[in-house]
Amino acid sequence: MVESGDPAHRTRTLALTVFGGTLALLVLLIAIPLVVPHESLPEPIIVFVSIFILISALIAGIALAYLFLTRAPVEQPNPGIAPLQAAPPAQGRAEGQADPAYQDLAIRLLDGDERRMMKVIVEAKGNILQRDLVRITAFSEAKVSRLLDRLEERGLVRRERQGMSNRVRLTLDQA
């Protein structure tokens, strides 16, 4: 089997292995009382097997929960973003509006929460208040600020002070 260098792939593979092994162990432990008569097993062995079954089920449940929680989200086409294709000339585009092809490319190159944040900004037509990002994404104020710092470092957005909040604007057209 070819190992991927991606840590997420490796941890999912490890979780699958743990889940499979634990499931096999559960089947064996549950089969013991069915194969061996209860009367011939001493009580401490029955208690030990029962505790082992409980621990194995717990480990299997944790591995399965991890697999479900870390599965890749299914990308659904977003009608607000045109698919990546040859970009038409930028004539007639208003200041601060980026080409939809660049927006789509930028969003696909981001990871997890950054992608989610960028999609919200794009859906707001590239102009939104930072406090609205906190409300819409349900991220904490600190997390939104950190994510915007990263997006600013990449040159995808810029923040402008506006009252007690910041206005976030797309800057993809300058990239």
In a domain? residue 2: no
- pLDDT tens digits along 104-117: 666 667 788 888 88
pLDDT at 5 (0 to 100): 59
In a domain, 57, yes or no: yes
User: CATH number of the domain that 107 lies in?
Assistant: 1.10.10.10
> Are 60 and 17 found together in one domain?
yes
Per-residue 3-state assignment (H helix, E strand, C coil) for the chain: CCCCCCHHHHHHHHHHHHHHHHHHHHHHHHHHHHHCCHHHCCHHHHHHHHHHHHHHHHHHHHHHHHHHHCCCCCCCCCCCCCCCCCCCCCCCCCCCCCCHHHHHHHHHHCCHHHHHHHHHHHHCCCEEEHHHHHHHHCCCHHHHHHHHHHHHHCCCEEEEEECCEEEEEECHHHC
pLDDT for 27-79, tens place per residue? 887 887 778 777 777 888 878 888 888 888 888 888 888 877 776 555 555 55
On whether both 63 and 104 belong to a single domain, the answer is no
Residue 11 in any domain: the answer is yes
Q: How far, in Å, CA of 31 to CA of 151, rounded? A: 55
Per-residue pLDDT for 4 more than 80? no
CB of 98 within 8 A of CB of 169? no
Total domains in the fold of the chain:
2
Domain that holds residue 61: 7-69
Considering the domain architecture, whether residues 104 and 170 belong to the same structural domain is answered as yes
62 plus 109 within the same structural domain = no
Examine residue 29 and state whether it is found in any structural domain, yes or no. Answer: yes
- Which of the residue ranges 10-24, 41-55, 88-102, 142-156 would you say has the lowest mean pLDDT? 88-102
Do both 106 and 49 map to the same domain? no
Cβ 113 vs Cβ 143: under 8 Å: yes
Answer yes or no: is 1 within a domain: no
Same domain, yes or no: 48 and 106 = no
Do 110 and 169 share a domain, yes or no?
Answer: yes
Does residue 74 form part of some domain? Answer: no
Q: Point out the least confidently predicted range of 21-30, 48-57, 88-97.
A: 88-97
Percent of the chain's residues with pLDDT above 70:
71
Q: In the predicted model, what is the mean pLDDT of residues 151-173?
A: 85
